[in-house]
């Protein structure tokens, strides 16, 4: 492997952390909002792609939040703005910095390949202080279509100048992992959420529970 490319939301960044920081306002609705917001966010990317009506991930995220707040009857003043602002500074998962450091020490290129807009990703990466550990931060906005369109995965190949077969792609989303595998990348499915195996083209090469296991898989652990 010459490069490790990561999905952002759910893989490096904990999308639940925005709602978690609003538990004072959300109370027992915290988990329900997190789940519904994420489900609608992804649904809107797929539905917009199918309809040919692309909108960037910031708009999609806001639309999904509006649907979720209305569904759960959460109408506290200022809550929507607070949640959207927090989405720009999501927490990383505990192992992320250590893993990226190990990969860089082993001489591997590292990158993000995400549905997020450039502005969203820039904010999240800088807030997490991992910008120096990444060689590239790639947004689907460069091709104007969402995952799992093959043009998204081709973006990583083109930008890094590395064949798909020499890229290890990591995602916590099963559908994303299977799509990248079908495209021709080596895939490590970081199955944080204990999803069932997908019935889709492709087959991830490895399945792990956290990214802490990744350096061993790509031969980087021995470099530390």
To the nearest 10°, report the CA torsion of 100, 101, 105, 106: -30
Q: In the annotation, is 66 catalytic?
A: no
* 7, 56, 91, 176: the active-site residue: 7
Helix or strand holding residue 164 (H, E): none
148 within 8 A of 49, measured Cβ to Cβ: no
How does 79-102 read in b/e, with b if 16+ C-beta sit within 10 Å?
A: bbeebeebbbebbbbebbeebbbb
Helix axes 30-51, 57-71, angle to 10 degrees: 130
As annotated, the active-site residues are 7
């Amino acid at each position: 492997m010459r490069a490790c490319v990561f999905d952002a939301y759910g893989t490096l960044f904990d999308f639940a952390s925005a709602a978690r920081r609003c538990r004072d306002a959300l109370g027992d609705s915290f988990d329900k909002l997190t789940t519904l917001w994420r489900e609608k966010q992804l649904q809107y990317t797929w539905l917009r792609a199918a309809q040919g009506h692309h909108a960037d991930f910031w708009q999609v995220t806001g639309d999904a939040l509006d649907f979720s707040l209305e569904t759960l009857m959460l109408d506290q003043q200022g809550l929507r703005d607070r949640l959207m602002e927090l989405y720009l500074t999501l927490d990383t998962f505990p192992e992320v910095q250590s893993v990226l450091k190990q990969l860089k020490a082993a001489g591997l290129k590292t990158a993000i390949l995400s549905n997020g807009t450039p502005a969203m990703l820039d904010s999240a990466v800088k807030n997490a202080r991992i910008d120096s550990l990444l060689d590239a931060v790639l947004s689907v906005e460069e091709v104007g279509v969402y995952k799992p369109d093959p043009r998204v995965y081709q973006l990583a190949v083109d930008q890094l100048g590395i064949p798909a077969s020499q890229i290890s792609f990591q995602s916590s989303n099963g559908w994303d992992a299977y799509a990248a595998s079908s495209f021709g990348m080596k895939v490590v499915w970081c199955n944080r959420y204990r999803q069932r195996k997908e019935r889709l083209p492709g087959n991830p090469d490895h399945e792990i529970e956290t990214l802490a296991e990744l350096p061993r898989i790509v031969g980087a652990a021995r470099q530390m």
